[in-house]
């Protein structure tokens, strides 16, 4: 149960829950708008340099990108199961599932790191450092800059998400949460799903089409 003072502050348990959900949704809206700037830059430059973007896209490692997509989707399913377990009064199982999801997130980051290493070897670097001779510089350099910005900001969010899931997993395993008080797990889960959904949009525009 949440401490007495909190219920007093809220007036009712319903108000507390609704404020938590609504606050989280508003936060998610700000995250979506944060990425909107990058998506807009991508859209504008893709419409200006369709050929260069296509050429740069063909050099992406689709296999690793797809692997990462599957990793994140799987971890999302695991988190959804974890929330279900905590709500169903099985915090130990929930904690274990949260830690598993965090592990999948770490694997995602490792794969991403491998990919970055390949790009560095090729010279597909952002901005001034661009040395990739296979595709023309004007336009393609923008593609690579946006690639690093999108995946970089996303990786930052994955890192935050992994930390959140780890903390929640440990606390849940030690029995802090249960059916009466699952809000932190629910909100942490929502954050992780957000990270997943953003990747679902990053993946096709950078790797596929």
CA distances in angstroms from 60 to 29, 56, 63, 168, listed in the order given: 30, 7, 9, 35
Q: Which of 1, 3, 4, 47 binds other proteins (CB under 8 A)?
A: 47
Residues in binding contact with other proteins, number by CB under 8 A: 78
Give the residue with the Cβ less far from other proteins, 32 or 173: 32
Give the residue with the Cβ less far from other proteins, 34 or 117: 34
Q: Are 79 and 100 in contact (CB under 8 A)?
A: no
Q: Which of 37, 92, 113, 175 binds other proteins (CB under 8 A)?
A: 37
Query: Does 141 participate in binding other proteins (rule CB under 8 A)?
Result: yes
Question: How far apart are the C-alpha atoms of 140 and 165, rounded to whole Å?
Answer: 36
Site for other proteins in 95-134 (CB under 8 A): 126-130
As measured in angstroms, the least distance from the Cβ of 202 to other proteins is 9
CA distances in angstroms from 190 to 10, 40, 125, 196, listed in the order given: 22, 24, 33, 10
Binding mask 185-204 for other proteins (x = CB under 8 A): -x--xx--xx-xx--xx-xx
Q: Are 91 and 176 in contact (CB under 8 A)?
A: yes
As measured in angstroms, the least distance from the Cβ of 118 to other proteins is 19
Query: Does 209 participate in binding other proteins (rule CB under 8 A)?
Result: yes
Q: Which of 7, 21, 107, 184 binds other proteins (CB under 8 A)?
A: 21
Site for other proteins in 150-179 (CB under 8 A): none
Site for other proteins in 62-101 (CB under 8 A): 62, 66, 69-70, 73-74, 76-77, 79-81, 83-84, 87
Give the residue with the Cβ less far from other proteins, 41 or 174: 41
Terminus-to-terminus CA distance in the chain, angstroms? Answer: 49
As measured in angstroms, the least distance from the Cβ of 104 to other proteins is 13
Phi/psi for 148 (5° steps) reads -70, -40
**Helix residue spans in 11-89 (DSSP H):** 13-48, 50-58, 62-87
Q: Is the dihedral of CA 153, 34, 170, 94 positive or negative?
A: negative
CA distances in angstroms from 181 to 15, 86, 186, 209, listed in the order given: 14, 9, 10, 44
């Amino acid at each position: 149960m949440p401490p007495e003072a909190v219920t007093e502050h809220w007036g009712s348990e319903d108000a507390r829950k609704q404020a938590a959900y609504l606050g989280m949704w508003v936060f998610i809206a700000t995250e979506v708008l944060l990425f909107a700037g990058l998506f807009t830059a991508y859209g504008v430059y893709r419409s200006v340099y369709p050929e260069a973007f296509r050429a740069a896209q063909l050099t992406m490692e689709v296999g690793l990108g797809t692997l990462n997509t599957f990793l994140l989707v799987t971890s999302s399913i695991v988190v959804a199961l974890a929330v279900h377990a905590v709500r169903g009064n099985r915090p130990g199982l929930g904690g274990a599932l949260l830690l598993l999801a965090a592990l999948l997130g770490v694997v995602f980051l490792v794969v991403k790191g491998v990919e970055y290493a390949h790009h560095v070897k090729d010279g597909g670097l952002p901005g001034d450092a661009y040395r990739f001779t296979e595709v023309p510089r004007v336009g393609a350099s923008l593609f690579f800059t946006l690639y690093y910005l999108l995946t970089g900001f996303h990786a930052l969010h994955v890192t935050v998400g992994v930390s959140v899931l780890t903390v929640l997993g440990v606390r849940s395993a030690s029995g802090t949460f249960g059916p009466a008080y699952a809000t932190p797990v629910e909100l942490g889960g929502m954050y992780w799903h957000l990270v997943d959904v953003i990747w679902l949009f990053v993946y096709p525009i950078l790797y596929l089409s």
